[in-house]
Structure 1
């Protein structure tokens, strides 16, 4: 009897271990650079994407999903932290995420903390917005960069990172030799070449692995072959196409008949336009060959001839099919290793893409083609296909993955879990998705509901401070049910008055919520009056009075400086006092506060004034420390 009981207990423990393994599934996290919903599963009948479509068939496809900001660095920083750009403070391609938010939590970092092996290969974060390790805290082992990839025998890594066509290689080598003959500095040769020659597309009769994305796929397959599956893994694979230049092996170009490509139907500004919403496609204009001439039309928008438009679109679709094939290879290896039954697959493009609509190319806008982004989640435990029409956004991905992986949802995320949608229980999650885009000294906030888009452009402010009527530069309203091409801004149309008011109220509530969240997030002080007796406030008073008297500041600038320095010192104290932090962490906190303070001061002080403030603050601080 005891013997039978012993074996029974062993059996129960085995079942328990298996159940635990199932409760913490693996994650295959696939990022695709600049991919818009040019996929069969999204209704694009021209696209040839059988592998992604097959995954989506039994997964959840979010049809009305939107990026937080339609540009690589800010989009990825937001998606990977579950926080909006006004929190991450990454609005451009040069701000490093942890310089301004040293303690921010990322998706792979959180999974690593919960016992996952986290591995990254290719472009997950935008490398310009993280450290040289592609965000070291995120990975169990160092992230695998593009310069560490291997290429097939007989092929070097692509020239300039992109090209394998022999004619292009000859041209590039010729320009390089010219640069060497002119004694151009080594670190400036790349720019010398690309200023003269950088084709926006390429077709070469080469194997898939000759280009970067094929090499990324091959490395991912190698990782799956050698993966230690004793604990769950989080494998992030970042593909670089269909980002410009649109390069792909010849066989993927041959999938499409260029004569059947349909150009964007509406290639001008909307009626009743808001000029700040548009751009000159500066990114496209950086891709040059002798025969391509870029020119602007009367509206200041890029005007490309029809043949070039078709070639670019052909290249975009070919590059998309190329990536689809690489994903197919990775999924085949997943199945071969019998890992598919316990691996959640996530496929996302970091934002949408303009292909000539409104005479726009690339991204960099708040229009539908730039913000609408593919998001597909396949959970093998559900294995049923659903399509979600309600608005979702990339900040929802962090809480969703944490929820379905059963590791608990971190506090202070800006999104919501979509687990109920993935299980097919509901087909709605929220009223609107929010995207934003900076243009000059304005920030456009775009609210996408099920059928409409309301965009409000704010002067010199972000959502983390109160927004008033006088701060509004312009507004836009688009009706996607009756006007999917955004041909008319309906904001002044009397028939849309109630819809306009409704969306204005949504925006008002959002801005109010963001201000409240800003006041309570992290260790920020909630009310200046509450710290007036603290040493930090007294120190701010002494230092600000010294600066004020030296610089003869106005009353407005005096009060603003006092409040800003008080917040700076309070933040530093709250995050460091009584905590046994390493010097490197303290330096990172002080640096982040310094940058945040400088940005805040720039609202009313000039660069020269800020430099003088920093100099005087440092001098007075030294005096106080020595006394």
Structure 2
């Protein structure tokens, strides 16, 4: 007779000061496994099955065809140039932007991560890849791990992606014995994931895997052995290509924007896109290895798979390269759910945030949601009925940029050296954001209503900036230290 595992715990279990409700008799063995796959700097329109015919992504395509894709998944932004840190924090904790500590780099014990919650609820929790938060929260979250990268990116002068700085799992949480890899980073992360799946083949306890790749983040030096290479002759320039951004957005000279000289020529942008696509195809190959092993071990039939990108990237759009801007290329990301109970080849065009992943997984596994979670469950999108999603989405960057999107219109406002440019885009008619409507007479009422909506959203979310104050209350560009100390 198949052995059944039970977790018998009191309802008010305290985890690091945060109350997590648990049923007295939770039938753990019947719960689905969770495989969460995260890529680094992958924008929303870089999957072949979703319309990009120039990129090769057979395994992401498979997830799209086998699952439900949220085509309007957004991030909330960040307060420093490393947008991936707050984005990952929001995924892990489902907190909103202005409730993150140290600009997203720190997760206090009062904010329960979803791996931590699942661990308390009887799951084996495993991590490999990038962790852009503190080591204490990592220790709380995972019962095992391998090939862990603590940090933001691999510096080119230290070997880049070909010499990853990694750690083996350390139950003490100290992680003071790093090692240097001698192969491409994605290989290490996929190897660790495959080995973990093999170890779980005959286990009855459910698992949660958090696999966080560093591709396609620069340095973009993808290997060619995995089977595909790109040539600039096969790459199209984006419709909104510009050699120079039309005005100072406050971050024209941050590291991301220094990867190519200004003005950006058509040829250099096409080369950068080719390298970007190569990195995405490379990580797609490694994702395929993990999916194949999941099927080989027979655990695929009871595993919910979530695939997402942590933030987007301009790569030549609007004269920009990076992610420190409010354009769609920076704030929209891939988000796919696949597995038991999830419709196949379905598209959902409603607004959602990445921090909605956490409560969705709770809903799908019947695990009570902690009070600190601010996201909304997306589970009803997997039903036959209508899924409304969010009424609007909001974006912020430092004290320099704010934006709001509602009913297909986007308003972006800037606060740079006493200048306050405004952009209004009709995304339904102008998805490439090429026609600024903010100064056209027939759109002045829309500008006013969207500005009011943005101001209300800022106050509701606890924004430290205020549109009603001169210079938003912070007229001078804030330093990284000042932004980090907004909420220590």
TM-score (ref. length: structure 1): 0.61
Q: CA deviation at 1:269?
A: 8.8
TM-score (ref. length: structure 2): 0.78
Cα displacement string for residues 71-116 of structure 1 (whole angstroms, at most 9, x for unaligned residues) = 111111122110122101343xxx6313xx4422211111112211
What is residue 139 of structure 1 aligned with on the other side?
A: 142
Q: CA deviation at 1:25?
A: 0.8
Question: In structure 1, how many angstroms separate the alpha carbons of the residues matched to 2:269 and 2:419?
Answer: 36
What is residue 84 of structure 2 aligned with on the other side?
A: 72
What is residue 168 of structure 2 aligned with on the other side?
A: none
Q: CA deviation at 1:365?
A: 1.1
Say if 1:69 and 1:514 are closer, same or farther in 2 by CA, change over 3 A.
Answer: closer
Say if 1:253 and 1:277 are closer, same or farther in 2 by CA, change over 3 A.
Answer: farther
What is residue 429 of structure 2 aligned with on the other side?
A: 482
1:276 to 219, 238, 249: 249
Where do 1:41-190 residues align within 5 Å? 41-69=49-77, 71-91=83-103, 96-98=105-107, 101-123=108-130, 125-126=131-132, 129-131=133-135, 135-142=138-145, 144-146=147-149, 160-163=159-162
Note if 1:494 corresponds to 2:441.
yes
Q: CA deviation at 1:372?
A: 0.6
Q: CA deviation at 1:35?
A: 1.0
Cα displacement string for residues 462-485 of structure 1 (whole angstroms, at most 9, x for unaligned residues) = xxxxxxxxx994533211122222
Please provide the CA RMSD for this pair: 3.5
Note if 1:513 corresponds to 2:445.
no
2:213 to 235, 239, 259: 239
Note if 1:336 corresponds to 2:343.
no
Note if 1:250 corresponds to 2:207.
no
Cα displacement string for residues 436-490 of structure 1 (whole angstroms, at most 9, x for unaligned residues) = 111xxx2422212341212234699xxxxxxxxxx99453321112222222332
Cα displacement string for residues 521-579 of structure 1 (whole angstroms, at most 9, x for unaligned residues) = xxxxxxxxxxxxxxxxxxxxxxxxxxxxxxxxxxxxxxxxxxxxxxxxxxxxxxxxxxx
Question: In structure 1, how many angstroms separate the alpha carbons of the residues matched to 2:204 and 2:344?
Answer: 28
Where do 1:453-464 residues align within 5 Å? 453-457=410-414
Note if 1:365 corresponds to 2:368.
no
Question: In structure 2, how many angstroms separate the alpha carbons of the residues matched to 1:48 and 1:596?
Answer: 42
1:212 to 180, 185, 197: 185
1:407 to 367, 370, 375: 367
> Would you tell me which structure has more strand in proportion to its own residues?
2
Count of residue pairs brought into register by the alignment: 425
2:402 to 445, 454, 459: 445
Q: CA deviation at 1:67?
A: 1.1
Say if 1:295 and 1:336 are closer, same or farther in 2 by CA, change over 3 A.
Answer: closer
Say if 1:376 and 1:316 are closer, same or farther in 2 by CA, change over 3 A.
Answer: same
Cα displacement string for residues 35-84 of structure 1 (whole angstroms, at most 9, x for unaligned residues) = 11200232111111111111121211010111121611111112211012
- Structure 2: stretches of 5+ with no match in the other structure: 8-25, 151-156, 164-179, 464-480
Question: In structure 1, how many angstroms separate the alpha carbons of the residues matched to 2:449 and 2:425?
Answer: 13
Greater RCO (CA < 8 Å, at least 6 residues apart): 2
Q: CA deviation at 1:366?
A: 1.2
Q: CA deviation at 1:137?
A: 1.2
> Would you tell me which structure has more helix in proportion to its own residues?
1
Contact 2:129/2:211, CA 8 A, preserved across alignment: yes
Q: CA deviation at 1:515?
A: 4.4
Contact 1:475/1:491, CA 8 A, preserved across alignment: yes
Note if 1:266 corresponds to 2:240.
yes
Q: CA deviation at 1:428?
A: 2.2
Q: CA deviation at 1:312?
A: 1.6
- Provide the secondary structure at the position in 1 that maps to 2:161: coil
1:225 to 187, 194, 198: 198
Q: CA deviation at 1:383?
A: 4.5
Q: CA deviation at 1:247?
A: 2.1
Contact 1:66/1:394, CA 8 A, preserved across alignment: yes
Contact 1:351/1:371, CA 8 A, preserved across alignment: yes
- Structure 1: stretches of 5+ with no match in the other structure: 1-9, 148-157, 165-189, 191-208, 288-293, 297-302, 461-470, 517-594, 603-627
Where do 1:308-319 residues align within 5 Å? 308-319=268-279
Question: In structure 1, how many angstroms separate the alpha carbons of the residues matched to 2:487 and 2:405?
Answer: 32
Question: In structure 1, how many angstroms separate the alpha carbons of the residues matched to 2:33 and 2:324?
Answer: 34
Contact 2:39/2:212, CA 8 A, preserved across alignment: yes
Contact 1:351/1:370, CA 8 A, preserved across alignment: yes
